[in-house]
Amino acid sequence: MRPLLLSAFALVGAALPASAQTAQQLGSVTAAEVVVRSAPKADAPDAGQLFRGTDVIVHHAEGDEWLAIQPPPGTISWINHKFVEVAKDKGFPQNAVVHTDGEVRIAAGKAGVNKPLDVRKTSIPDGSIVRVLAAGVKTDDDGSVWYPIQPLKDDFRYVPKAAVQIGGPTAENFVVRSPLPAPKSSISPAGLTASIPGPANFANKPAGWPGTHPTWADAEAAETAKDYDKAIRLYFQLARESNAAGGDADLANLCYARIHGIREKTREAGTKDSNWTAPKADSPRADRDDGTWTKRGESTAKATWTGAGTLRAAKLASGGKSYYALEDSRGQLLAYAIAGNTSLDLERYAKRRVDLYGTTAYSPELRANVVTVTRVDAVK
């Protein structure tokens, strides 16, 4: 094992392009939803989605149509196992040292895609320290193993200029929080042993962290009981809360790593948690921040939980049904809800935090998901 270099982070900065010296700007997403690209062109691989109100750090313009942004919270990158020293006796996440002759290119990724994207734009030098989020994934193309890592600063992603309103300059160390967590992560290895990450390797945390958090404790209990649907839902809920302003980014990352571990384990066992189904590459879809998705215009075949939100009466009615809006903590719409049977009175849950269970369909008229609710759980 080569020694850790105290100057590793400085080395990363030295490898940045000349444009890295430009002043950064704080921007806000104005489009209802915008696709983040791994390169500044419309046909570049999809690297995730951002929603209206999400703050982004704009580093520089790429031509007349694109902005290079610092990787948003929840973004994922990948590094080949040949260039990183990962401790086999430690859990995940963990810090690891890059070793290469000169520089190595890391790959962009997308949460929910079980391999690196075919984009290698960012280079990092020998001795850099990266945050490895979970166990490696064996790819089909060359049989090599890739590790998902937390993107380094200036591992840019790209959004259309028209989708972002630019504010004023921001400090170099400014950190943004997303109003919704990044889309789900489901990393499927081939021939590797599943590894459920533990809470180790986090310094300066209180004793018992994160087990003292009630939602974490509930999620772990569900995971132990092999109720993986519930565990994933709770981990996503906690990640969403931790990604809010003033939250705990380490806890959010740990939640995402746990979700990865569960899905990795269930896939190795030949099963799949029912909260997530991979869409076809050419199928339009409506992604949701609780790890589920529904193909636009089609109902989900299996009922799922929406994740916690506040239920409010909506000024909508159709077919004799009253519509309710499920909103997140910032008042943004997660989905519309209608009662799935006459015995369910959603009005009694209005203005309360709830978790809804039912099938979901995308409504082209409302341009939003509509959940046909069959069960409601009040969230304390």
What pLDDT is recorded for position 153? 84
Q: Span 227-239, mean pLDDT?
A: 85
Identify the pLDDT of residue 68: 95
SS3 for 75-122, per residue?
A: CCEEEEHHHEECCCCCCCCEEEEECCCCEEEEEECCCCCCCCCCCCCE
pLDDT, position 268: 52
Measured CA to CA, the distance from residue 37 to residue 196 in angstroms comes to: 30
Tell me the residue ranges of DSSP E strands in 142-284. Answer: 145-150, 157-160, 164-169
Which tens digits make up the pLDDT trace of 333-344? 888 899 988 889
Residue 317 has pLDDT above 80, yes or no: no
Q: What is the DSSP letter of 371?
A: E
The pLDDT score that the predictor gives to residue 279 is 36
Q: Looking at residue 284, what is its pLDDT?
A: 37
Q: What letter does residue 4 receive in the DSSP assignment?
A: P
Which pLDDT value is given to residue 269? 58
Tell me: the pLDDT tens digits for 57-91?
999 999 999 999 999 887 899 999 999 989 888 88
How far is it, in rounded angstroms, from Cα 11 to Cα 222? Answer: 43
| Dihedral angle of Cα 28, 32, 37, 42, to the nearest 10 degrees | -120
In this structure, what CATH number is given to the domain that contains residue 364? 2.40.50.140
* pLDDT at 131 > cutoff 50: yes
Question: Cβ contacts of residue 316 below 8 Å, gap of 6+?
Answer: 322, 323, 336, 366
In one-letter notation, the amino acid at residue 180 is: L
Q: How much is the average pLDDT of 112-134?
A: 88
User: What would the two tokens of residue 307 be?
Assistant: 């994740």
Instruction: Check: pTM over 0.85? Answer yes or no.
Output: no
Asked, for residue 15, whether it belongs to a domain, the answer is no
Q: Confirm whether 321 is domain-assigned.
A: yes
For residue 263, tell me if it sits in a domain.
no
Cβ contact 186:276 at 8 Å: yes
Q: Is 329 within the bounds of a domain? A: yes
Peptide bond into 210 cis (omega under 30): yes
Question: 84 lies in a domain?
Answer: no
Pick from 18-22, 134-138, 152-156: least confident: 18-22
| Span 209-226, pLDDT tens digits | 787 788 888 888 888 888
Q: What is the CA radius of gyration of the chain?
A: 21
DSSP string, 14-39: HTS-GGGGSPPEEEEE-SSEEEEESS
Number of structural domains the chain divides into: 1
Residue 314 or 259, more confident: 314
**C-alpha–C-alpha distance, residues 199 and 208, integer Å:** 9
Q: At what angle do helices 214-224 and 249-268 cross, to 10 degrees?
A: 10
Which tens digits make up the pLDDT trace of 276-309? 333 333 333 333 333 333 333 444 456 788 888 8
Q: What would the mean pLDDT of 342-351 be, rounded to a whole number?
A: 90
| pLDDT at position 339 | 92
- How far apart (Å, rounded) are the C-alpha atoms in residues 352 and 105? 48
Determine the pLDDT at residue 293.
38
Q: How confident is the model at residue 262 (pLDDT cuts 50, 70, 90)?
A: confident
* Interval 46-58: pLDDT, tens: 998 888 888 899 9
d(CA 264, CA 186): 7
CA pair distance 273, 236, nearest whole angstrom: 14
Q: How many Cβ atoms from other residues are within 10 Å of residue 106's Cβ?
A: 28
In-domain check, residue 356: yes
Instruction: For residue 240, give the nearest of 305, 329, 312 by alpha carbon.
Output: 329
- For residue 125, the SS3 value is strand
**Residue with more model confidence, 134 or 295:** 134
Residue 27, in any domain of the structure:
no
Residue 319 placed within a domain: yes
State the average pLDDT for the chain.
Answer: 74
Structural domain harbouring 354: 294-378
